[in-house]
């Protein structure tokens, strides 16, 4: 797993391609390009039989450059980093910041690739990929690109832990409209990986993210709530509001064991979730709450009912 940081300071998890898959993709590309070059050469030999030897040599050199060098550059530029071999192997060329490549990136990769792949039969490219921590060849280093895997197993989707039960619904009155999408992504990535981090590092990250979220909402975070639990509760509140917005203002949350709920039971989370407490770096285990389950429409309220701006009825 490789972590790239975008210009918005959002960490992206990308899987760099391994040397075997990259070598297979290059071999498939070379086979296709070799077939095209052979056909073009035969056509040129037949059509230029009446020309002198110098003209034939010039046309042969031009065909070599256009087919073996220009064609891969054009394909990678138009397909945003996906040649035929990379499409077959589920790979893509991206920039160092995770964005799509442009013509200049493909041009540099293709120009350097002539030396490290064609002229040295791929020996230089293999050595550079083995030495690099992210499997980059010289063309990737010079162009500022990276070959990543696009097809990732679905079963490895990260689980966002729910907040403790005593925090559910506590932040129903928060104004979450000012929190940008980049900050939401950073919070979700922290929650999915907080149990893999060092306790002190995770606690510092949670405090910084909680401070950023509180600054965007205009309401300070409660001092008695651990920062990680506060982030989980705010994320759940956002999911609830998105569900209400999608299914109507009168939607009610229902789930397994709730009277009147329909549909299959939602998947159960782990029995306990570890949240760093507010008073120190050592983790505290709290009982996990069920994730936001199925949403169904509740009976319509009367016109005199009071509601908040987010679609929630105020607490009794």
Q: What residues have CB less than 8 Å from 15, skipping those under 6 apart?
A: 1, 2, 148, 149, 152
Distance CA 6, CA 12 (A): 7
Percent over 90 (pLDDT), the chain: 13
Tens digit of pLDDT for each residue in 233-256? 888 888 888 888 777 655 444 444
* Averaged pLDDT for residues 128-142: 88
Distance CA 281, CA 202 (A): 8
Beta strands at 91-95 and 145-149: parallel, antiparallel or unpaired:
antiparallel
Distance CA 163, CA 167 (A): 6
* Averaged pLDDT for residues 109-118: 89
Tens digit of pLDDT for each residue in 294-307? 444 444 444 444 43
Distance CA 115, CA 79 (A): 23
* Averaged pLDDT for residues 15-22: 86
Highest mean pLDDT among 53-67, 236-250, 252-266: 53-67
Q: Which two tokens stand for residue 238?
A: 């956002």
Backbone angles phi, psi at 284, to 5 degrees: -125, 130
Q: Is a pLDDT exceeding 70 seen at residue 61?
A: yes
Q: Is a pLDDT exceeding 50 seen at residue 280?
A: no
Q: Is a pLDDT exceeding 70 seen at residue 31?
A: yes
Q: Is a pLDDT exceeding 90 seen at residue 35?
A: yes
Of the candidates 218, 209, 208, 233, the residue with the CA atom closest to the CA atom of residue 177: 218
Asked if 162 and 37 count as a contact pair (C-beta separation under 8 A), the reply is no
Q: Which two tokens stand for residue 170?
A: 């506590």
* Averaged pLDDT for residues 23-45: 90
Tens digit of pLDDT for each residue in 138-159? 999 999 998 988 865 544 555 6
Asked if 92 and 148 count as a contact pair (C-beta separation under 8 A), the reply is yes
pTM (two decimals): 0.47
Q: Is a pLDDT exceeding 60 seen at residue 269?
A: no
């Amino acid at each position: 797993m490789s972590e790239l940081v975008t210009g918005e300071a959002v960490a992206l998890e990308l899987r760099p391609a391994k040397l075997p898959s990259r070598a297979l993709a290059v071999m498939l590309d070379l086979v296709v390009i070799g077939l095209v070059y052979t056909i073009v050469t035969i056509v040129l030999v037949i059509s230029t039989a009446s020309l002198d030897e110098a003209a034939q040599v010039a046309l042969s050199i031009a065909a070599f450059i256009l087919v073996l060098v220009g064609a891969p550059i054009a394909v990678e530029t138009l397909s945003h980093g996906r040649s035929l071999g990379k499409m077959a192997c589920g790979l893509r060329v991206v920039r160092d910041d995770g964005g799509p490549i442009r013509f200049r990136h493909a041009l540099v990769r293709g120009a350097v690739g002539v030396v490290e792949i064609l002229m040295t039969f791929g020996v230089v490219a293999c050595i550079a990929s083995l030495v690099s921590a992210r499997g980059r060849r010289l063309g990737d280093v010079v162009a500022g690109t990276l070959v990543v895997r696009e097809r990732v197993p679905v079963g490895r989707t990260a689980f966002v832990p729910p907040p403790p039960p005593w925090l559910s619904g506590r932040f129903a009155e928060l104004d979450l409209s000012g929190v940008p999408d980049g900050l939401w992504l950073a919070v979700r990535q922290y929650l999915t990986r907080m149990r893999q981090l060092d306790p002190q590092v995770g606690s510092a990250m949670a405090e910084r993210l909680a401070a950023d979220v509180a600054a965007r909402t205009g309401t300070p975070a409660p001092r008695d709530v651990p920062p990680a639990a506060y982030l989980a509760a705010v994320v759940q509140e956002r999911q609830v509001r998105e569900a209400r917005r999608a299914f109507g203002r009168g939607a009610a949350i229902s789930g397994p064991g709730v009277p009147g709920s329909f549909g299959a039971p939602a998947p159960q989370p782990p029995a306990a979730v570890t949240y760093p407490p507010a008073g120190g770096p050592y983790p505290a285990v709290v009982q996990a709450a069920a994730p936001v389950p199925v949403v169904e429409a509740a009976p319509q309220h009367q016109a005199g009912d009071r509601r908040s701006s987010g679609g929630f009825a105020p607490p009794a």
